[in-house]
Chains A and B, each alone.
Chain A
Amino acid sequence: MSFLRSSDAIILVILAVAMVLIGLVNPAFWQMSNLFSLLKSNVVIGIMALGVLLVMISGGIDVSFTAFAVAGMYLVVKVMVALDYNGVILPFMSATLIGGLLGLMNAGIIHRFSMIPLIVTLGTASVVRGLVLGLVGTSNVNINKMPTALIEFGKTDLLVLERANGSTYGLTAMVAVYLGLALLLHLVLKHTMIGRSVYAYGADPEAAKRVGFSTGRTMIFVYVTAGALAGFSGLLHSSMIWLANPRDFVGLELDVIAAVVLGGASIFGGRGTVLGTVLGVFILVMIQNSLILMGIDTTWQRVVVGAMLIAAVTVTALRDRRALV
């Protein structure tokens, strides 16, 4: 079966080995409450990673998604507070829309002027973050001001279990939202022409044009979807931590990109799967989580994330080079 030879299978093995090792060092890892909290930590970074995966398959790199997440989250929460609006669906649609529009800006600049995505998204990220702080505000919206509907939504559990001492812990329903989005993206990537056009464009943009793909449409699909996922994940994040911080997500780009690369996507484009990315996110979050459980200082986590990114990039680059010979 081709799955056994795929990168996904290798990542799954790495994940299993890492789980066994972490479990040996720290048996607390296997406690259900820890696993639940682990899954919860996957949600926001995972949804962002889906967008980054899409951009990476198309052969680009996106570093603007954290800024778009902040824009979607902070703008929507601020407006909700100002209007005293309490709801869930409309705010999430708005945050998604804001992210999507900002993504459209990325797509437009990158496609129209054939510019390098890394530079464009660095620029748009800085502009958007600056505009949010300059025009919308700089202060946190704390739990006392946060719309209660959002908080309630963030608290939804799929499953609630009871500890020996009587206190309860649950598996957040946001995991289902995340996995639902992942499944949807998987189906789009695997079974639709627009999805395959992303792979084709990432494999060889010139060939994609010659075959007759509308590459402008592909770029719009990629960056609008990535932006929309970012906007959505931003608001989801704030409803899960009951806080909207306009300076949030700084430095998270690296974690998300590391997770996607860890999941087997190629920085050269044309290669990458949703399953791999979901597993990559899980590995990254699990390792960060274990470092915390082992009481290792958070500053050292940056070292670990950076090292993991470099290791993953090296391994995938070696794989891609071998395939090219």
Chain B
Amino acid sequence: MPSAPLIELRNVSKRFGGVRALDDVSLTLDTARIHCLAGENGSGKSTLIKIVSGVYQPDEGEILIDGKPVGKLDPATSIAHGVQVIYQDFSLFPTLSVVENLALNSFLREGRQRIDWRRARKMAREVLARLDVKLDLDATVETLPAAGRQIVAIARAMLADARLIIMDEPTTTLTGREVERLFRIVRDLQDQGIATLFVSHKMREMLEISEHLTVFRNGKKVTEGPIADFDERAITRAMTGRDLHQGKFTAPDTTGKTPRLELRNVSVGDKAQNIDLTLMPGEIVGLSGLIGAGRKAIAQAIFGLRQDMTGEMRLDGQPIAPSSVPEAIAAGLAYVPEDRLSEGLFLTRSIRDNSIVSSLERFAPRLWLNSEKAAAQTRKMFEEMAISAPGIDAPVGTLSGGNAQRVMIGRWLMTHARVLILNGPTVGVDVGSKEQIHGIIQDLTRKNDLAVLMISDDMPELAANCNRVLCMREGRITGELSGATLTEEALDAALSNETQGEPA
């Protein structure tokens, strides 16, 4: 008789008010298996994580651990059974050292009153050796890059005698090479008998790392099976309930036209050197590279956010040098930052307020705001961007990632921007919504003769939406892919040629 599965959920349902977050879901997680849970936002993935970790109790159904039913699963019981969740924010202590972040958890579980620093160091060294990574034990966690913090979180889970580690969207902040290392670690964990539940919506990763896949949609399990039974198309169809088509974007013929934006020999502090870049009207140009390659610095410099730019910049043939954001906006430049929550949107304000904020002088030429005009134009943008919300007065904080991003992009259309810089345009956005946003960007570019500079770590995104992609490394443009040479594989290759050895 095969041994009982590590965790088994039988016909579990969970309701919040009238909403069925999980509807009659059964799921089996085996010992030492790498399992992937896929689904769009709101499909019930997070509810499931919280049920397995004991944060929520199911309304119906039962949970079995090691084949035995557990009556009520609370967080402490779940941890005692070896379930560890690594949340997206890692839940680490940024100002404390690596050692302490690793040891506190275990000392707490052992009910200790005093800290044995020597033992803490020993534990930290041993667990990092098991993971085969090197970290400065005395460094404070805040000084580590995201990948390093993730390793601390994984190591901490291991110290808690984890048998199942649940990772919630673990690769969103990692570069290609760091993802490779994460996968190596997950496979090592598997060899040590630890199961991993990946919660993700990134196709390529699911296909590469997991052995077993379960797809959720609207709180129901849609399909599951060994990964070999799936391909990208099948997963997408299961997640969204429809077929998505990703055509390639082609730019119109631009011969003889004046470049929309031209950078000549531009340097930005020590972040970027000797950048030459031309954006023709109607073009979507991608910018690929690792974090720290200088992509963000260029975007910020164009948008007047950096004072340390040298070189020449021309917009429609006219030299410009915006030294502040208002100047850049007035010139027709627009920038959608990577972190729209902290750098872009006013979460407690309405869609209307967020939309008109960059073009206020048009809606409030004198002291007072022309509300009718503002509402009318916001509604027009609302339609154009196909935002799904109760209305333009809904606070942006209540919107999903995809809709919030549409507001962000829509804001710039209201400024009549001629150059749109997008940094991570679909980070944290669902597959379905993502495709729609891509469609909108492409339509707008064609229709309004925009010139778009798209910074992204998402290779399929760059391949599908750009007519050209520039590759950056250590502050320089090192290559260009376009036409037939612009493929995901080529982009991946360009990126992985860049660095040798493991990232810190």
Cα separation A8 to B143 with both chains bound (whole Å): 19
B104 at the binding interface (Cβ < 8 Å): yes
CB-CB < 8 A to A195: which residues of B? 115
Cβ–Cβ contact A323 & B143, under 8 A? yes
B114: contacting residue among A2, A191, A203, A324, CB under 8 A = A191
Q: Which residues in A have their C-beta under 8 angstroms from that of B107?
A: 193
Q: Output the nearest chain B residue to A323 by Cβ-Cβ distance.
A: B142
A169-196 CB mask vs B (1 if < 8 Å, else 0) is 0000000000000000000001111111
Shortest C-beta distance, A1 to chain B (Å), equals 10
Contact residues in B for A211 (Cβ distance below 8 Å): 91, 104-105, 108
Partner of A270, one of B91, B96, B138, B143: B96
* Interface size bracket, B side: 20 to 34
A152 at the interface (CB under 8 A from B): no
Q: Which A residues from 190 to 221 make CB contacts under 8 A with B?
A: 190-196, 199-200, 202-204, 206-208, 210-213
Quote the shortest CB–CB distance from A187 to chain B (angstroms): 10
Q: Judge if A271 is at the interface, Cβ distance under 8 Å.
A: yes
- Residues in B neighbouring A202, C-beta threshold 8 A: 95
In the complex, number of A-B residue pairs with CB atoms less than 8 Å apart: 67
**Residue in A2, A191, A193, A270 whose CB lies within 8 Å of B93:** A270
A196 and B100 contacting across the interface, CB-CB below 8 Å: yes
Q: Are A199 and B95 in contact (CB under 8 A)?
A: yes
The count of chain A contact residues (Cβ–Cβ below 8 Å) is 26
Q: Please give, as numbers and ranges, the residues of chain B lying within 8 Å of A323 by CB-CB distance.
A: 94-95, 140, 142-143
Contact with A along B251-281 (1 / 0, CB 8 A): 0000000000000000000000000000000
Chain B residues closer than 8 Å to A324, beta-carbon distance: 94, 142
Contact A206 B108 (CB under 8 A): no
A266 lies within 8 A of chain B by Cβ: yes
Known contacts A266-B95, A270-B95, A271-B95; A196/B104 CB under 8 A: yes
Contact of A191 with B105 in the complex, beta carbons under 8 Å:
no
Candidates A203, A204, A212; contact of B108 at CB < 8 Å: A212
Q: How far is the CB of B234 from chain A (nearest CB, A)?
A: 36
A244 to chain B, nearest CB (A): 38
A58 to chain B, nearest CB (A): 12
* In the bound complex, CA of A212 to CA of B112 (Å): 13
Nearest Cβ in chain A — how far from B269, in angstroms? 14
Q: How far is the CB of A258 from chain B (nearest CB, A)?
A: 21
Q: Which residues of A contact B72 (CB under 8 A)?
A: none
Q: Does B113 contact A (CB under 8 A)?
A: yes
Q: Are B113 and A193 in contact (CB under 8 A)?
A: yes
- Assess whether B109 is interfacial by the CB under 8 Å rule: yes
A7 to chain B, nearest CB (A): 12
**Residues of B with Cβ closer than 8 Å to A?**
76, 87, 91-96, 100, 104-105, 107-109, 112-115, 117, 138, 140, 142-143
Top 10 closest pairs, chain A to chain B, by CB: A270-B95, A203-B93, A207-B91, A203-B95, A210-B91, A271-B95, A212-B108, A323-B142, A200-B93, A191-B115
| A-to-B contact residues, CB < 8 Å | 2, 190-196, 199-200, 202-204, 206-208, 210-213, 266, 269-271, 323-324
Given A193-B112, A211-B104, A323-B95, 4 other A-B residues pairs in contact with their CB atoms under 8 A: A199-B96, A204-B92, A204-B93, A270-B93
